[in-house]
Chain A
């Protein structure tokens, strides 16, 4: 799964922002190194004009963090 890494500044800009006309909202998540990422699908679906810069971010393979404990 491809994602784009965000700088701290970029994270602050996109966190919780609507990115399309359906009201879909970015959900940055940390990778294994703790760097926040957004997914290729969010980037491709972005239509809000002042957020189109996300389409220029390089894509890399997502390395997930360890899974949380199963909620027994």
Chain B
């Protein structure tokens, strides 16, 4: 793990810090907030217009080849809407999460992970819970969404050098698809997790959300 942003403390100054490296520095993967975030006791919420955060985490030179993990805890349930909660895309390679959108079919999770594109066949009926976009090989994404293991055959095409955004998509250094969901935590891992590890991490994060009184 490179970063866990617990988004605890109720204000922007507290929410920017990485629990694993609490320096106030970009190379510590602290969050830099842009635009109109609402910070509160349950975390940080975007506004769907211009709020995003730079995680200062890019894949190139950071992650293992075809093996890393990233994600967030969402406290907000929405219908089909083109809001990206986290990630980047350079036009060819990307890693990002649109938890519930209509691209071809309604109610689909659209998730990339070192890939060109992937519309999960998994039906998405909620956008709440802990999202892990995990990969450990060139063949499959092995995500864990709100506790459930989701395996999607998706060819690995490589990494890009764009910083991951939280609350929007970093599309070639242009922020798009701003989200207005509320986040209770985000994380960045430079190595993929086994299925057992994603389950353990889900349980640990869920327990933390319960302890903070912000579980959904």
Contacts and interface: CB of A to CB of B under 8 A. Distances in A.
A27 B175 contact: yes
Contact of A29 (B16, B33, B49, B177): B49
B34 A70 contact: no
A8 interface: no
Interface in B117-162: 117
Interface residues of A, number: 26
A22 B16 contact: yes
Which secondary structure dominates where chain A touches chain B? loop
A39 B82 contact: no
Contacts of B91: 71
Interface residues of B, number: 31
A70 B101 CA distance: 10
Interface in B7-61: 11-13, 15-16, 24, 32-38, 47-52
A9 B48 CA distance: 25
Contacts of A27: 34-36, 50-52, 175
Interface of B: 11-13, 15-16, 24, 32-38, 47-52, 82, 89, 91, 94, 101, 103, 117, 169, 171, 175-177
